Structure 1
């Protein structure tokens, strides 16, 4: 999904979210301390709620909507408009750092563009030239600065979703115009960010589901520079059914098998409703797939038309999502809520 789309959606849902926050039932209960080492094999639930500080503010209300379920994966994006923003200039990163440090088992997930002007409609020949410059090290300093800034903010263990949906047609950081240069550029970026003293970054390689512009395996830069095999998977073609989404070339099954062969965890940084409207069967099947394959984290894109909390257009899907992820009620009198 484009940053412009995310920004516009954030504006459109502000009034809705304000109402949800106002009716959320008071302050969220204080979180329990997690065991050292955090999470284990438990899947971290996440949601993209806004790209800026409002995304942090909405995390507690989203958790209350889920019956108190801990939303452990905080997900946002660096704007791809200027190099200054890609270097980590947005002030909202400090808000995310405070959120991350409240619990040891939380994950901060940050999508990082590989070029400024990432949605500028650059033609293939221009992208190929940029990729070759990146492969030669022309932009390494921008990512060294980002790595140092994240560490300085107290975010040394950020999950970096670098150059997401690289197998598609749209972003300037797409792979198809020169896959070899793209892979070398990825390697340079990872080396630059890992040069930050104290970093423990994990790099998430997250293509679109399906064939798209190029088979995403042709863009894979190597096991030494990838920690997680992600996938963005919305309810849209290619695939007219969830079974097709699983079994199609470069689909969900191939992601799981590829990750297993390369000894990597999987993730779903972006998923949600889309072309088929309010489709509870898609949500049910996606959550079942997640439960079966236990990714490190998943993050639903929660604005219209994709979302379930901030989008009133999808009530049946919202019900499935909420019932699936809310913690079970403890035994007690009928209708009683579990104590914090």
Structure 2
């Protein structure tokens, strides 16, 4: 995962869109090649459609131009690098239109269509809730459909059950959510690039851990059943 610029340094979409950050990105490509990572997957400016990241797509025109500049710069020195355009599944605040695809950089600049999805906002306790969330405008199922329409693979960089925080709507120890994620991955195996469970016991986050420590024992047991120990 890489932002458009290092956090806390006062970067801007406008500067990025004008190419002011191109040289460091060329250097990144050189570094990837030098360390045998020329085909690395770069989750660039992930969760751009929320409000809590500096690189949010508040200006979708500048955001798209910035993304394109970064991809072009990296590919100059690491042409095999792969770029993952990844949103979060919990509602689009940016762009203001509420449509994350307004910030799609174009098929020439994207290799993987990605999403981060947690069992919250809303949670999925049953089939009806899962179907509504998954097929909503920012749901996993909608992202899979968008990827297929653009001839791209799908990446799920972060997914998890949520046993604390959850912005008032955590799904808790929910093995049903684990089952549905597994089933969706399996049903779309032909376009899946990767998926990663977000195993994090940090109480300041969402208490998602299924292993060392186990914060959701039923979800943990279901995960082990489906994926193995």
Same fold (TM over 0.5): yes
Q: CA deviation at 1:116?
A: 1.6
Instruction: After superposition, give the CA deviation of every residue in 1:124-154 in whole Å (9 maximum; x if it has no partner).
Output: xx87xx1011100011111111111111011
Name the TM-score, length of structure 2 as normaliser: 0.85
Partners of 1:283 and 1:310 in 2: CA distance: 18
> Greater Rg, structure 1 or structure 2?
1
CA distance in 2: counterparts of 1:260 and 1:113, whole angstroms: 26
Whether 2:14 is the aligned partner of 1:114: answer: no
Residue 183 (structure 1) shift: 0.3
Measured on the aligned residues, the alpha-carbon RMSD in Å equals 1.8
1:265 and 1:151 map into 2 onto residues whose CA distance is 23
Residue of structure 2 aligned with 1:281, choices 169, 176, 200: 176
Residue in structure 2 matched with residue 332 of structure 1 by the alignment = none
Matched, 1:136 2:18: yes
Q: How many residue pairs get matched?
A: 207
Paired position in structure 2 for 1:318 = 220
SS of aligned partner of 2:108:
helix
2:165 is aligned to: none
**Where do 5+ consecutive residues of structure 2 fail to align?**
163-169, 202-206
What's the TM-score, normalizing by structure 1?
0.58
2:75 paired residue number? 194
Secondary structure (helix, strand or coil) at the match of 2:88 reads: coil
Question: What stretches of structure 1 move > 2 A for 4+ residues in a row?
Answer: 238-241
Q: How does 1:1-340 map to 2 (within 5 A)?
A: 111-117=1-7, 120=8, 130-175=12-57, 177-196=58-77, 199-214=79-94, 215-238=99-122, 240=124, 241-274=129-162, 275-294=170-189, 295-304=192-201, 305-326=207-228
Q: Is the 8 A contact 1:236 1:276 kept in 2?
A: yes
Gapped runs of 5+ residues in structure 1? 1-110, 328-340
